Structure 1
Amino acid sequence: MHIFVFSYNRGPFLENCIRSIEACAPQCGLTVIDDGSDDPDTRRVLAEVGERHRVVDKTAESGHKLGGLYANMQAAFEMASDDELICFLQDDTQMVRPLSDKDIEELRQSFARQPDLGFISPAFVRGISLKKKADRDFRFDAGRNFWFWYPRKRSTGTWFSALLIADPRRLRAVDWHFEVGESVNNRKAAKIFCRMARMRAPFSMWLPNGRAYRGKQKSLALRFGEWSRRCGLYPLEIMSDQDVEALKSAEPARLPVAEECLKTTRGKIKTPWAYDPMQGAGWLKLLDRAERKVRGLFS
């Protein structure tokens, strides 16, 4: 399997992500695709990582609030070989358990046995996804050996998420192209594939209370959200072999919820974990949107 990590101006986060991959999946190829970082600390980390792995500097502009993420995902897909699975992670994520050759082979066999399978999520379920009763419906399919999500609305993450595992040959067979925006890709995947499969024992997760960008910028609203939530780098502990095996073999199958299965290495964080500095603060999101709109008028 080849792992692609997408990066922009979060040097300490990227360093943590790369170290976790090197520790947990040393047998996997690793490519970092950076979206034109100009932060000196991030440039330093990229240079150091470039001594051990492939680093690609992409500055494609998509016009979307997430900058060039989806353009860079498409670039990674085009770089990928048909001979190995691909896994997409981001600099504010990390691996949380060792990934064995057996794990990778089982993933490969899942694609081989399930022709409608397009995407597998390598991430744990976010506790925030269980907050609303309408979104709690996760069902385990024993025949497929995966969890699937059945929210009442066609939510992003039901068929597609930016953190993913895929078989390049399958995507090329349906002429797949990564569009701009998770919801757009979610609707597209819903027409072609089954729901996004979720592993019994995932191996990666977004870091809680992380820092963020919108369109490569930080509005005053976003900065306030980061300050009020005490956002920063909160790495996750690597799971023990016993805990991983318990998830894999639990009967009945146990839904892998991040807050229940993972721990941070520093500080105690309020649950459910937040992954967006403005999460749950609609007024901050409105201010952020207004500020970015005004900036656009004068840029």
Structure 2
Amino acid sequence: MHIFVFSYNRGPFLENCIASIEACAPQCRLTVIDDGSDDPETRQVLAGIAERHQVIDKTAHSAHKLGGLYANMQAAYEMVANDELMCFLQDDTQMVRPLTEGDLQSLRQNFDRQPDLGFVSPAFVRGFSLRKKANRDFRFDRERDFWFWYPRKRSTGTWFSALLIADPRRLRQLNWQFEVGESVNNRKASQMFCRMARMRVPFAMWLPNGRAYRGKQKSLALRFGEWSRHCGLYPLQLMSTAEVEELANCEPARLPVAEDFLRLVHGKVPTPWVYDPMQGAGWLKLLDRMERKVRSAFA
């Protein structure tokens, strides 16, 4: 498997992510694609990583709030070989358990025997997805050996997520191209593949209460959200062998909710965990959009 990590100006987060991959998946190829970071600390971290792994500096321009993420995903997809799976992670994520040869073989076999399988999520389920009854409908397909999500009101994340595992051969056979925006890719994937599969025992997760950028910027609203939530770097502990085996073998299969199985290395954050400083604060999101529009008008 070829693991790609997408990065922008979050040096300590990137350092934590890379350390987790080196500890949990040393057998995998690793490439960091950075979206033009200009923060000195991040540049220093990137230089250190470049001594051990491939680092590519992409400065793709995009008006989308996530900057050049999707352009860089497309670049990674074009780089990967047909004979290897690809896995996309981001600098505010990390691996939480060892990725074994058995895991890789199982993923390859699942792609081979399930011709409609497009994307597999390597991530645990976020607890806030279960707060509303309409979002709780996760079902385990024993024949496929995956969880699938059947939300009643919203579909983003149902067929596609930016954290993914895919077989590039299959995507190329169907002329897949990554578009700008998760909702656009979600709609596209819904026309080509089955719902996004979710592993019985995931191996990666977003860090809770992390810092964020939108369009490579931090608005006053975003900064206030980070301050009020005490956002920072909260690494996750690696799961023990016993914890992994318990999740893999429990009957009936248990939904892998992050808060149920993962623990922080240090610090405390409220549950359910949040992953966006403005999550659940509509007024902050409105102020953020207004500020970015004003900046664009005078740019």
TM-score when normalising by structure 1: 1.00
Give CA deviations for 1:216-274 in whole Å, capped at 9, x if unaligned: 00000000000000000000000001111111111000000000010011111100000
Structure 2 Cα separation of the partners of residues 138 and 57 of structure 1: 38
Q: CA deviation at 1:182?
A: 0.2
Q: How far apart, in 2, do the equivalents of 1:154 and 1:81 lie? A: 34
1:52 corresponds to:
52
Hey, what does 2:200 align to over in structure 1? 200
Q: Take 1:258 and 1:198, find their aligned partners in 2: how far apart are those partners? A: 13
Q: 1:1-299 counterparts in 2 under 5 A?
A: 1-299=1-299
- Residue 194 of structure 1 aligns to a residue whose secondary structure is coil
The residue type equivalent to 1:56 in the other structure is: I
Deviation at 1:50, TM superposition (A): 0.2
Q: State the Cα deviation string for residues 143-198 of structure 1 (Å, max 9, x = none).
A: 00000000013421100000000000000010000000000000000000000000
Residues 17-49 of structure 1: per-residue CA shift (max 9 Å, x gap): 000000000000000000000000000000000
Deviations 1:60-91 (A, max 9, x none): 01210000000000000000000100000000
Distance in 2, Cα, partners of 1:142 & 1:208:
30
- Provide the secondary structure at the position in 2 that maps to 1:144: coil
SS at match of 1:192: coil
CA distance in structure 1 between the aligned counterparts of 2:146 and 2:107, rounded to whole angstroms: 11
Give SS of 1:202's match.
Answer: coil
Q: Please give the alpha-carbon distance, in whole angstroms, between the structure 2 residues aligned to 1:154 and 1:265.
A: 33
Unaligned runs of 5+ in 1: none
Could you report, residue by residue, the CA deviation over 1:201-223 in whole angstroms, capped at 9, with x for unpaired residues?
00000000000000000000000
TM-score for the superposition, normalised by structure 2: 1.00
Equivalenced residues, count: 299
Distance 2:96 2:149 in 1: 22
Aligned-residue CA RMSD in angstroms?
0.5
Give the distance between the partners of 2:34 and 2:238, measured in 1 at CA. Answer: 25
Distance 1:42 1:126 in 2: 27
Please identify runs of 4+ aligned residues in structure 1 that moved more than 6 A.
none
Q: Secondary structure at the match of 2:103?
A: helix
Deviations 1:107-150 (A, max 9, x none): 00000000000000000000010011001000000000000000
| One-letter amino acid of the structure 2 residue matched with residue 160 of structure 1 | F
Amino acid at match of 2:283: W
* Closer, same or farther: CA 170–154 of 1 in aligned 2, 3 Å: farther
Q: Which amino acid aligns with 1:285?
A: K
Structure 2 gaps, min length 5: none
Q: Distance in 2 between matches of 1:203 and 1:297?
A: 42
